[in-house]
Structure 1
């Protein structure tokens, strides 16, 4: 076998930290020994993996390729160990949950709180990202679970909810009784993410169907930055209700649901295929479904079957 796990683990830590010194301290391995392992690994693969810089090291292109595989392999080993050791009453281990950026602030906190209270030995990590990034992370098993759009998820994904889309503007832009149709919204000065994002794809599809062009005045990646641009008067945007509800409640932004027809997007729970989940992953999934149902009852979205029971 060309690669051994020890060298792979050492390489991943050095590449992640960007420093032999920091990796040495964290691993408890002398720096000369780490350097020797890396030289041996590069000789085995006949390729340079790390490039020394004035302040630390960076992975080469080949090193980045190996790092992505190494992270998935090491994570799979950690999960295998956790699955072997865990007890039915007290599940332990690492669980990585990815959530679409626009709903992560709404969904993540109650999931974290519930998990911490019920299963303190589960180490839950939550990451936010766009739908394409989440899909890639599920495919490479970086994430055990991901709340993402159905348009990019696997067919085996679990339906979660339908989220109504809102036109969002600065405070006072829309009165409670105002009405903005989807067709009218397409012509408003919009701040939207790039074409890799689900809402942008959905809106471009709507524009094509209605024979209109999207009036995109600015492209901004990131919900927080988009909201800041709206407050600065740079344009409007279209977001799901969950992403804008807090600002709508405190009056820092105004938003109304799009009408004629109402516009929604479907979110699902995606997970790696052909990879049995650990007990810790199963418990986090149950918590997530329960939180989704509760937020649905609060009006954030319309829950979909089969998440009518959190026991599934």
Structure 2
């Protein structure tokens, strides 16, 4: 037998108020209908729950027993409803976000700040890595989301922005609006990462088209170390706009846009397939996309309409 929760609520209210008339008024249910509900409830249980007198109603012994259990049941249901609504307003859970190393310093802090402000119960972990490591982390579901290059992401990934590549040198080497062709870059002493990295692959492809080779003077993994080497005068490098924007603004580095051909790389939001996203992951994704759009408008990268 399954108890009717609606009738249970009616019974509790009648027993608490000691009156069908008062219960009818508070519940917004006509008194005849309320009486019919209670008769049906008693028939369902096979026991009398209420003593009806000219001065009102009182719970029978069986009614008192039910009342003690009903209050606990209805309180638990109310708490479950409140918790569910709270989850809808303030989602909880762990979310792991991977971001390409070159843009992680720019992108991670505003994402963390906005998530902390809007969704304080989401436990967000951010990790940086190269595109291959991020792809592996998505495939193995180590990350729920990853901002990475479209060349390694799944076909189901979502485009975020197209980032212009810049030749980066020490402070004062390039004017703010300077441009260089790919042909000119091939003669420069370059500090580059190893061959598995996207920008190097792109440049070597362009060099091959020209029948030439890159002039790599040093191999350094890591954007921070590369920029330190540039500041020390050990060579130049090619980085995305996001990696150099802040340095250019404060004057610690200078940069010239790569043109003829204009070189860009597309960054996308990659996610596991055949694995439904949690509410927390969905909200972090929305925050991330909003931050990307805002930073693009502020000039942290040359943000084109990604389709």
DSSP-derived class of the 1:123 partner = strand
Contact 1:86 1:92 in 2 (8 A): no
Seen in structure 2, the aligned counterparts of structure 1 residues 245 and 177 have a Cα distance that, compared at 3 Å, is closer
Cα distance in 2 for partners of 1:129, 1:86 equals: 35
Which residue of 2 is the match for residue 302 of structure 1?
Answer: 303
Q: TM-score, normalised by structure 1?
A: 0.69
Question: More displaced, 177-186 or 148-157?
Answer: 177-186
Contact 1:86 1:93 in 2 (8 A): no
**Offset of residue 256 of structure 1:** 1.3
Q: TM-score, normalised by structure 2?
A: 0.70
Which residue of 2 is the match for residue 87 of structure 1?
Answer: 87
Q: How does 1:1-312 map to 2 (within 5 A)?
A: 87-299=87-299, 300-305=301-306
Contact 1:149 1:267 in 2 (8 A): yes
**Offset of residue 305 of structure 1:** 4.4
Cα distance in 2 for partners of 1:143, 1:86 equals: 26
Contact 1:100 1:131 in 2 (8 A): yes
Contact 1:295 1:301 in 2 (8 A): no
Question: More displaced, 133-142 or 256-265?
Answer: 256-265
Q: Deviations over 1:36-69 (max 9, x none)?
A: xxxxxxxxxxxxxxxxxxxxxxxxxxxxxxxxxx
Cα distance in 2 for partners of 1:166, 1:118 equals: 35
* Structure of greater Rg: 2
Cα distance in 2 for partners of 1:96, 1:193 equals: 26
**Offset of residue 278 of structure 1:** 0.2
**Offset of residue 177 of structure 1:** 4.8
**Offset of residue 117 of structure 1:** 0.1
Seen in structure 2, the aligned counterparts of structure 1 residues 103 and 129 have a Cα distance that, compared at 3 Å, is same
Which residue of 2 is the match for residue 68 of structure 1?
Answer: none
DSSP-derived class of the 2:293 partner = helix
Which residue of 1 is the match for residue 67 of structure 2?
Answer: none
DSSP-derived class of the 1:221 partner = coil
Aligned length, in residue pairs: 223
Cα distance in 2 for partners of 1:107, 1:204 equals: 28
Unaligned runs of 5+ in 2: 1-83
